[in-house]
Amino acid sequence: MLRHLINLVLSILPPSRFFGLRYLLWRIAGVNLARGVKFCGRGWIYGRGSLSIAERTWLSPGVVFHTNIEAEIRLGSDCDIGPGVEFVLGSHAIGGEARRAGQGVARPILVGNGCWIGAKSLILGGVTIGDGAIIAAGSVVVRDVPKNTLVAGVPSIVKRQLQ
C-alpha cells in the first residue's frame, strides 16, 4: 500500500525534477536506491518485490517496474534506461484448455553495469543483461544478453558485438 501511495504522490510532480524527494520516498518504501540514482517521474513501481538500482543509474520518464516477492529486479551502476521501458518479472505456466494462463511464476531480472536500454523496450523475467550491453528501442528481451552486445527486435536478437 505504501508504494501505491508514493506512486500517486510522485505522479503529480514534474517528471525531471525533485530527484531528492523521489529518492527519499522510494527508500522509505523499501526500494534499494544507491547514491546518484535519478528516477524521473511518470513511472510506476507495482508490487512489494525487491528492486535494487546501483549508483548513477538514470531512469527516464515512464519507466515501470512490475515487482514480485518471489523474484528480484537488480539494475547495475551507470545504466541509462529510456522512456517507457518496462520490467516484468511475472508470467504463467501454460494451463489447460479451460484456462490457458496457468499457475503464476516469477523469475528475476538482472541488468549489468553500464547498460543502455532504449525507449519502450520490454524486459521479461528470467533475463540477465551483461555489462555494457545495449538494448535497441522497442525491443522485447526474452533471453539473456551477453556483455558488450547490441540486441534489437521482437524478440530481440544479437545485432553486433561492441568494443
Which cell is 94 given?
501454460
Query: What is the largest distance, in Å, between two alpha-carbon atoms of the chain?
Result: 50
> pLDDT tens, 103-143?
999 999 999 999 999 999 999 999 999 999 999 999 999 99
State residue 84's pLDDT score: 98
Task: Give the CA angle between residues 41, 69, 110 to the nearest 5°.
Answer: 65
User: Quick check: 163 pLDDT over 90?
Assistant: no
Q: What is the pTM of this model?
A: 0.94
The secondary structure of 29-79, three-state, reads CCCEECCCCEECCCCEEECCCEEEECCCCEECCCCEEECECCEEEEECCCC
Q: Are strands 134-135 and 149-152 parallel, antiparallel or unpaired?
A: parallel
16 — pLDDT class (breaks 50, 70, 90): confident
**CA proximity to 136, closest of 161, 160, 116:** 116
Q: Write down all domains in the chain, each with its CATH number in brackets.
A: 2-161 (2.160.10.10)
* pLDDT confidence of residue 70: 96
| Catalytic one of 17, 27, 92, 160 | 92
Q: What is the pLDDT of residues 43-69, one digit of tens each?
A: 999 999 999 999 999 999 999 999 999
92 counts as catalytic:
yes
